[in-house]
């Protein structure tokens, strides 16, 4: 019996197929050599620890990243102002015990203007000169955001209030994929512009995973007349399941290719970390190749991935 007839394609060896795809597929230019790129400016975000064990983890993270000489490091403020004292303690300890420049996150939620102003004055008196000014999210259990009666309603109001207290350097949030409650992408950009007009000099973005989404956002922001630096927020992902859940709430898209990359690694933390490093490294290199020279890392108080990715970008410890 003769063998069934095969199509010419099925006859090809895998090698020939690869060659054919290469010859006929789209060409992608190589990423520029790292030696041609200056090391980028960096900033790192931490959260204030809740327990002694987490406190130790935070400080070992701070110490590990300190030699990379970031432009600043920022400390988050819990939903509803729940970490006010811990944020303050962490920021002032960074100021006292390290060579780093801290930035304190501050939100409008659950406090009057006077109360927020008092926190800001406390920072100014302690020598803290950089605030990341945010509206904040409602505390757990509360459905939507309601401005506090007598409080700053939105981040733009907070920025203006801070500028009345001291000449703080102020960073604000930006959303390449649009804030979930914004009525339209243009309204969201108008809001960003209001925050800058009120005195902010830098925007830090919500994390995102698709580099072109960020690059398109930068184009739109420039077209809208925004000229302050817009720094991409980079989240190295180790716990994919958790990030997928959180992303659904904050409006960051998780691309299908990413779900596929982490598929089957739920019980394999080591491989997940290696995959996470590759995903984040690809993302930042692509941004760097497109002229992005400043990066903000959401460290989640874990230094290793951030350190490795910063290294790939050309950052080296300095004495
Ligand atoms: C870099 C970064 C750091 C963050 N750190 C923290 C943190 O430490 N603690 C924390 O709780 N959260 C933090 N967040 C989350 C942030 O608080 C939420 O995303 C929040 O929902 C919006 O904050 P915002 O400052 O962007 O708000 P805003 O800029 O005030 O805008 C939020 C929404 O309100 C709408 N809006 C603005 N002004 C008006 C107006 N006058 N009338 C009606 N609608 C209006 C806007 O269109 C927008 O959709 C951070 C986010 C980022 C990107």
The pLDDT, as a whole number, for residue 301 is 97
Ligand 1 centre from 228 Cα, in Å?
Answer: 18
The pLDDT, as a whole number, for residue 10 is 46
Once rounded to an integer, what is the mean pLDDT over residues 187-197? Answer: 98
What are the pLDDT digits (tens) for 78-121? 877 678 899 999 999 999 999 999 999 999 999 999 999 999 99
Q: Is the pLDDT of residue 5 over 90?
A: no
Ligand 1 centre from 173 Cα, in Å?
Answer: 7
For 8, residues 6+ apart whose C-beta sits below 8 A from its C-beta are: none
Alpha helix segments (H runs only) across the chain: 8-11, 14-24, 52-65, 84-97, 113-126, 155-165, 185-197, 211-223, 240-250, 256-262, 269-289, 304-312
d(CA 251, CA 253): 6
Phi, psi of 50 (to 5 degrees): -100, -25
> Which of 7-21, 107-121, 181-195, 294-308 comes out lowest in average pLDDT?
7-21
Q: How many residues does the chain have?
A: 319
* Dihedral (CA of 98, 109, 306, 226) sign: negative
> Which of 107-111, 143-147, 313-317 comes out lowest in average pLDDT?
143-147
Pairing of strands 294-298, 130-134: unpaired
The pLDDT, as a whole number, for residue 4 is 45
The pLDDT, as a whole number, for residue 8 is 44
Q: Is the pLDDT of residue 188 over 70?
A: yes
Per-residue pLDDT band at 140 (split at 50, 70, 90): confident
Ligand 1 centre from 199 Cα, in Å?
Answer: 16
Our mutation pick for probing the ligand 1 site, out of 78, 146, 191, counting the most ligand atoms within 8 A of Cβ, is 191
Once rounded to an integer, what is the mean pLDDT over residues 153-157? Answer: 98
Instruction: Please answer whether residues 120 and 132 qualify as being in contact, where contact means their C-beta atoms are separated by less than 8 angstroms.
Output: no
Judge whether 270 counts as a catalytic residue.
no
Ligand 1 atom having least distance to the Cα of 296: 1
Once rounded to an integer, what is the mean pLDDT over residues 132-156? Answer: 91
d(CA 226, CA 175): 14
Once rounded to an integer, what is the mean pLDDT over residues 298-312? Answer: 97
Q: Is the pLDDT of residue 184 over 90?
A: yes
Instruction: Please answer whether residues 163 and 193 qualify as being in contact, where contact means their C-beta atoms are separated by less than 8 angstroms.
Output: no
The pLDDT, as a whole number, for residue 36 is 74
Ligand 1 centre from 176 Cα, in Å?
Answer: 13
Once rounded to an integer, what is the mean pLDDT over residues 130-150? Answer: 90
> What pTM, to 2 d.p., does this model score?
0.92
Q: Is the pLDDT of residue 29 over 90?
A: no
Ligand 1 atom having least distance to the Cα of 77: 8
Once rounded to an integer, what is the mean pLDDT over residues 188-202? Answer: 98
Residue 46: closest CA among 59, 36, 32, 33: 59
Q: Is the CB of 79 under 6 A from ligand 1?
A: yes
The pLDDT, as a whole number, for residue 105 is 98
The pLDDT, as a whole number, for residue 9 is 47
Per-residue pLDDT band at 243 (split at 50, 70, 90): very high
Q: Is the pLDDT of residue 283 over 90?
A: yes
The pLDDT, as a whole number, for residue 78 is 87
């Amino acid at each position: 019996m003769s063998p069934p007839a095969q199509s010419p394609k099925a006859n090809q060896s895998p090698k020939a197929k690869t060659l054919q795809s290469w010859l006929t597929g789209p060409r992608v230019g190589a990423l520029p050599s790292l030696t041609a790129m200056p090391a980028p400016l960096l900033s790192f975000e931490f959260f204030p620890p809740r327990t002694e064990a987490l406190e130790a983890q935070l400080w070992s993270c701070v110490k590990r990243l300190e030699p990379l000489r970031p432009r600043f490091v920022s400390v988050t403020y819990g939903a509803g102002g729940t970490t006010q004292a811990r944020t303050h303690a962490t920021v002032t300890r960074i100021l006292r015990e390290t060579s780093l420049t801290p930035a304190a996150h501050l939100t409008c939620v659950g406090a009057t203007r006077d109360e927020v102003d008092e926190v800001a004055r406390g920072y100014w008196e302690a020598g803290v000169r950089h605030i990341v000014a945010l509206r904040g999210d409602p505390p757990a259990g509360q459905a939507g955001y309601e401005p506090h009666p007598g409080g700053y309603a939105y981040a733009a109001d907070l920025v203006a209030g801070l500028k009345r207290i001291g000449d703080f350097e102020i960073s604000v949030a930006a959303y390449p994929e649009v804030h979930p409650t914004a009525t339209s992408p243009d309204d969201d950009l108008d809001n960003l512009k209001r925050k800058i007009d009120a005195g902010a000099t830098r925007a830090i973005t919500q994390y995102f995973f698709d580099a072109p989404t960020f690059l398109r956002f930068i184009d739109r922001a420039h077209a809208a007349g925004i000229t302050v630096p817009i720094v991409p927020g980079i989240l190295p992902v180790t716990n994919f399941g958790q990030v997928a859940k959180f992303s659904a709430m904050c409006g960051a898209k998780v691309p299908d290719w990413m779900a596929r990359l982490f598929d089957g690694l739920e019980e394999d933390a080591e491989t997940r970390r290696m995959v996470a490093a590759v995903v984040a490294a690809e993302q930042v290199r692509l941004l760097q190749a497109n002229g992005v020279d400043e990066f903000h890392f959401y460290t989640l108080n874990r230094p290793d991935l951030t350190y490795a990715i910063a290294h790939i970008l050309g950052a080296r410890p300095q004495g």
